[in-house]
Amino acid sequence: MNLTRSQVTTRRGRWRGGPRARLLAAFLMLGIVAAFGLFAVGCGDDEPDTIQAALVAPPNVPPKQNRANAHVVVDLVAKEEIREISPGVEYEVWSFNDYVPGPMIRVQVGDTVEIRLQNASDSKVTHNIDLHSVNGPGGGAESTNVAPGETKAFSFKALAPGLFTYHCAQGIVADHISNGMYGGILVEEPRGKARYDREYYIGQHEYYLTDTNGPNGVPALDVDKMLAEDATYVVWNGATDGLTGDNALTATTGETVRLYVTNGGPNFTSSYHVIGEIFDRAYAWGSLANLPLKWIQTISVPPGGAAITDMKIDVPGDYKIVDHALGRLTKGAVGIITATGDNDFDVFRDLQEHPLGSDVEEPTATAEPAATSEPDDGGNGEPATTEDIAVEMDDNVFIPDTFTVKAGSVVNFQLDNIGNLPHNMRIADLAGSYDGDTVSDPELLSGGQTGVLTWEVPDATGTYKFRCDVHPVEMVGTITVE
């Protein structure tokens, strides 16, 4: 049997040694790099820059930054003002910066975040802020009790990545939250690229209204109803049908839409669901330090908790954002994502509107992909063909995870680690062994890194397995050599 040469190189060249030794070496190298990074930060004589947090109206979010760590100043104002929360129903809403939920604060792991809370001079009661991203008494509440007209501040180090709820913790707490005083703070790793095309920020909470008007001429908070968990309205973004009509979210088919979902409560766990979609990735409880769940239909978002979900929208139309405890839809908890763009009849087809064969050029299932170069002649001395193949490495999956390549060609796998964890791609020999002499070493890429894995495809046709050495069980795929 003609022993074929399977060779794997990376941008940084080939490594020597057995697979285990090489993996160990890779981890050691990572450690050294990480230690040097810490050293560099520790020895820097420059104070971190002071920057002002961008705060925008929900459902918009400030842009992702990927900058050096900074001292981030967040200016918040507690306000009390009467506004319409349902058609024809006015109520005295309490808010951070006029928004319900309050503006999304976006910082990085390692930032020092200075929260400055001002209570508007025309407020009637004291407010404060407790952020769930804080390690310290009250999450900052004890340092920010502000009477009307006062301003107080504290700072905290953002240590953990994820989406965290913040809220006012004054009064009996539930009353201030129910009046609208909650929001979300997103803490991200300062690296990696966006794995979504659009991002929105939404929040669910409940209002409890008295049946009669109070002294200010509008219904007041009904504490008995609140304690009985008998909500008058359950809403996204502060008002019934709060994300519909002019406030509907928009997307174009083919895009991946990320939603940052907070829940103020004060009482209800949201069974957050988007009708007609599946979450490709769902970061349970808003944690960005753990692996996302894949292909989730509905995810619980508890009061004082959060979730982050990504969904690729394939088909144009309206997608309702609901709490799948659907009695709450009747109480106002509905939003809409309106997707425009091309249909994908493979994914969904209304057979009344679009009978088979009626209106579109169907993609020909048997169409050959366009050749990138001349096919190999089977070893008659002509140069081997070269092909680039893009591969995304997510936590924990190769996208795509099956390939077909030509025997005797050269393939450059263009690797893009879009996950948070380190991954590599190692191709086995035809017998399925990852220890064979013909297998050499792939580079370990950390989250956000890209690299190239060059494979001189053997002449032996068949199915070759590949895997990530760090996640060898779940992160696998196959290459058909023909």
DSSP 189-254: -S------SEEEEEEEEEE-EEEEE-TTSSEEE-HHHHHTT--SEEEETTBTTTBSGGG-EEEETT
Q: Which stretch binds Cu ion (CB under 5 A): 48-56, 119-127, 202-210, 473-481?
A: 119-127
Rounded to 5 degrees, what are φ and ψ at 348?
-155, 140
Q: Nearer to Cu ion by C-beta: 165 or 287?
A: 165
Q: Which stretch binds Cu ion (CB under 5 A): 175-183, 313-321, 338-346, 433-441?
A: 175-183
Q: Nearer to Cu ion by C-beta: 181 or 405?
A: 181
Q: Which stretch binds Cu ion (CB under 5 A): 167-175, 239-247, 312-320, 420-428?
A: 167-175
**Is the distance from CB of 8 to CB of 434 less than 8 angstroms?**
no
Q: Which residue is listed with tokens 């809220």?
A: 167
Site map 311..340 versus Cu ion, x via CB under 5 A: ------------------------------
Which one of residues 170, 178, 270, 409 is an interface residue with Cu ion (CB under 5 A)?
170
Residue nearest to Cu ion (CB): 168
d(CA 275, CA 294): 17
Which one of residues 79, 132, 167, 176 is an interface residue with Cu ion (CB under 5 A)?
176
Q: Which stretch binds Cu ion (CB under 5 A): 169-177, 233-241, 441-449, 471-479?
A: 169-177
Q: Nearer to Cu ion by C-beta: 179 or 396?
A: 179
As measured in angstroms, the least distance from the Cβ of 167 to Cu ion is 8
As measured in angstroms, the least distance from the Cβ of 234 to Cu ion is 20
Decide if residue 123 touches Cu ion (CB under 5 A).
no
How many CB atoms are located within 10 Å of the residue 390 CB? 11
Decide if residue 95 touches Cu ion (CB under 5 A).
no
Rg for the chain, CA atoms, rounded:
27
How many CB atoms are located within 10 Å of the residue 388 CB? 11
Q: Which stretch binds Cu ion (CB under 5 A): 12-20, 100-108, 174-182, 221-229?
A: 174-182
As measured in angstroms, the least distance from the Cβ of 77 to Cu ion is 12
Q: Nearer to Cu ion by C-beta: 176 or 312?
A: 176
* Cβ contacts of 458 within 8 Å, gap of 6 or more: 4, 5, 6, 407, 408, 430, 438, 481
Q: Nearer to Cu ion by C-beta: 178 or 396?
A: 178
Number of residues that bind Cu ion (CB under 5 A): 5
Site map 406..425 versus Cu ion, x via CB under 5 A: --------------------
Decide if residue 181 touches Cu ion (CB under 5 A).
yes
**Is the distance from CB of 61 to CB of 201 less than 8 angstroms?**
yes
Decide if residue 177 touches Cu ion (CB under 5 A).
no
* Cβ contacts of 339 within 8 Å, gap of 6 or more: 250, 251, 252, 253, 313, 315, 316, 317, 318, 319
**Is the distance from CB of 251 to CB of 321 less than 8 angstroms?**
no
Q: Nearer to Cu ion by C-beta: 178 or 385?
A: 178
Helix (H, G, I), strand (E, B) or coil at 110: coil
Decide if residue 127 touches Cu ion (CB under 5 A).
yes
**Is the distance from CB of 203 to CB of 237 less than 8 angstroms?**
yes
Omega of the bond leading into 266 within 30 degrees of 0 (cis): yes
d(CA 268, CA 164): 17
Q: Which stretch binds Cu ion (CB under 5 A): 120-128, 191-199, 283-291, 430-438?
A: 120-128
Q: Which stretch binds Cu ion (CB under 5 A): 50-58, 176-184, 205-213, 381-389?
A: 176-184
* Cβ contacts of 245 within 8 Å, gap of 6 or more: none
Q: Nearer to Cu ion by C-beta: 76 or 301?
A: 76
d(CA 440, CA 18): 9
As measured in angstroms, the least distance from the Cβ of 126 to Cu ion is 7
Bridge partners for 16 per DSSP: none
Which one of residues 53, 85, 100, 168 is an interface residue with Cu ion (CB under 5 A)?
168
Q: Nearer to Cu ion by C-beta: 181 or 315?
A: 181
- What residues make contact with Cu ion under the rule CB under 5 A? 127, 168, 170, 176, 181
